[in-house]
Amino acid sequence: MATHAAGDVAVLVSPAAGRGRARAAAATVLATLRAAGLTPEVLPATTRADAERQAGKAVAAGTRAVVTIGGDGAAHAGLQAVAGTLTPLAVVPAGTGNDLALALGWPRDPLAAARAAVEDLLSGAVRTVDAGRTGDRWWATVLCCGFDSAVTDRANRLRWPRGPRRYDVAILAELARLRPRELTLVVDGVAHTLPVTLIAVGNTPWYGGGMRVCPTADPADGRFDVTVVGPVTRRELVRTRPRLTAGTHVEHPAVSVHRAARVELTGEGLNTYADGEPVAPLPVTAECVRGALGVVGTGRA
Ligand SMILES: Nc1ncnc2c1ncn2[C@@H]1O[C@H](COP(=O)(O)OP(=O)(O)OP(=O)(O)O)[C@@H](O)[C@H]1O
């Protein structure tokens, strides 16, 4: 028997997102949904895996939408449940990284985001966008591998310091051992074996909380933009990173951009991350699944 029959909109609240911002926004979002005549049900998930499972059950039971309140991690959990189905996703951005909301234009303000989602849901204005698929995981923003994934792996292994400072320490440690890695990249069947510093496979432009790594990625074109950063010195990497905000790093001679619907990455000892969450160690295949994700409340910001 379906366990989520109580609500017609499933709500995931990412407990840690934005240092409590998601929890704080939840009351406003729920009130907005109720005022529109909807019956929201907050799924009592305590881990991301739990959130994915419960949202999946809610979708199978016929929920009208999955609303995530949090950052890209929360949206990633909701995505696993809705991608490839007719049930749309609504994101109320309340995390430290809100790259999917930035790309698709969900309003930054929780009340405005909830209102926009309700408006589209009630009028049936569901927009479809592409989603990435790697193994059994869906992802929506950027899948990355190389320097960035090594930093995330290291930050996750560190017991000290806590919070964002872990990333500063991990970046310094990985910069100290920076070396290009030999990877094989297959884009739409054409293989390139090359030394790389990092590879970013973008369905949308931004990752890492506002870094425009794949500046022209378009989630409605059925293809990824693949940014390949070749060998660079420490000094160049540090100097080029600020250019990621504007996306002008692609003009650097060590950077090349490919476009493809299917990308294979092979190499040794590297993990991939997408939407800020771990996906799989290499080798991986990323497929751009056209129109796999329905969304409500976008295009407002
Ligand atoms: N409903 C949920 N229940 C439990 N954990 C969740 C849920 N949704 C997401 N998470 C996990 O909580 C972590 C933080 O969530 P999220 O990415 O939404 O917020 P954030 O503020 O952007 O996070 P971060 O500061 O880690 O970038 C993620 O690793 C995610 O996998």
The enclosing domain of 254 has a CATH number of: 2.60.200.40
User: Is the Cβ atom of 47 under 6 angstroms away from ligand 1?
Assistant: yes
Do 286 and 173 sit in the same domain of this protein? yes
Beta bridge partners of 294: 128
Same domain, yes or no: 123 and 170: no
Residue 254 has a pLDDT of: 94
Q: Which atom of ligand 1 is nearest to the CA of 45?
A: 3
Ligand 1 site, residue 66, Cβ cutoff 6 A: no
Q: Are residues 159 and 250 in the same domain?
A: yes
Query: What spacing in Å lies between the alpha carbon of 279 and ligand 1's midpoint?
Result: 15
For residue 253, the one-letter residue type is P
pLDDT at 6: 57
**Separation of CA 185 and ligand 1 centre (Å):** 30
Query: Structural domain tally of the chain?
Result: 2
Residues 146 and 126 in one domain: no
Contact residues for 155 (Cβ-Cβ < 8 A; gap 6+): 166, 167, 169, 170
Whether the full predicted model's pTM is greater than 0.80, yes or no, is yes
Evaluate whether residue 219 is within a structural domain.
yes
Give pLDDT, residue 190: 94
Residue 78 and residue 100: Cα distance in Å, rounded?
12
Same structural domain, 166 and 235: yes
94/174 same-domain check: no
Residues 6+ apart with CB under 8 A from 16: none
Query: Quick one: tokens of 33?
Result: 């949904």
- pLDDT tens, residue order, the chain (301 aa): 444 445 799 999 999 888 899 999 999 999 999 999 999 999 999 999 999 999 999 999 999 999 999 999 999 999 999 999 999 999 999 998 899 999 999 999 999 999 999 999 999 999 999 999 999 999 999 999 999 899 888 988 988 887 778 888 998 999 999 999 999 999 989 999 999 999 999 999 999 889 999 999 999 999 999 999 999 999 999 988 889 889 999 999 999 999 999 999 999 999 999 999 999 999 999 999 999 999 999 999 8
Q: Per the domain annotation, does 4 fall within a domain? A: no
Q: For residue 179, how far is its CA from the centre of ligand 1 (angstroms)?
A: 31
Return the bridge partners of 287, or none.
Answer: 133, 262
Query: Can you give the CATH number for the domain in which 121 is found?
Result: 3.40.50.10330
> Does any ligand 1 atom lie closer than 6 A to the CB of residue 72?
yes
Residue nearest to atom 30 of ligand 1 (CA): 73
Q: Whose CA is nearest to atom 13 of ligand 1?
A: 73
78 CB under 6 A from ligand 1? no
Residue 12: strand, helix, or coil: strand
Q: Whose Cα sits closest to atom 28 in ligand 1?
A: 73
User: Do 162 and 119 belong together in one domain?
Assistant: no
The residue range of the domain holding 240 is 142-290
Residue with tokens 């951009």: 257
Q: Is the CB of 156 under 6 A from ligand 1?
A: no
Q: Which pLDDT does position 164 carry in this prediction? A: 75
Question: Does the beta carbon of 23 lie inside 6 Å of ligand 1?
Answer: no
Helix/strand/coil percent split, the chain, to 5:
35, 30, 35
The predicted pLDDT at position 2 comes to 43
How remote is the CA of residue 13 from the centroid of ligand 1, in Å? Answer: 9
Domain end: 101, 131, 161, which one? 131
CB atoms within 10 A of CB 233: 11
HEC letters along 47-77: CHHHHHHHHHHHHHCCCCEEEEEECHHHHHH
Ligand 1 midpoint to CA 68 (Å):
10
Burial 180-215 (b: 16+ CB within 10 A, else e): bbebebbbeeeeeeeebbbbbbbbbbbbbeebbbbb
Ligand 1 binding pocket mutation candidate from 12, 21, 42, 48 (most atoms within 8 A of CB): 48
The whole-number pLDDT of residue 65 equals 98
Which helix (H) or strand (E) element contains residue 292? strand 284-295
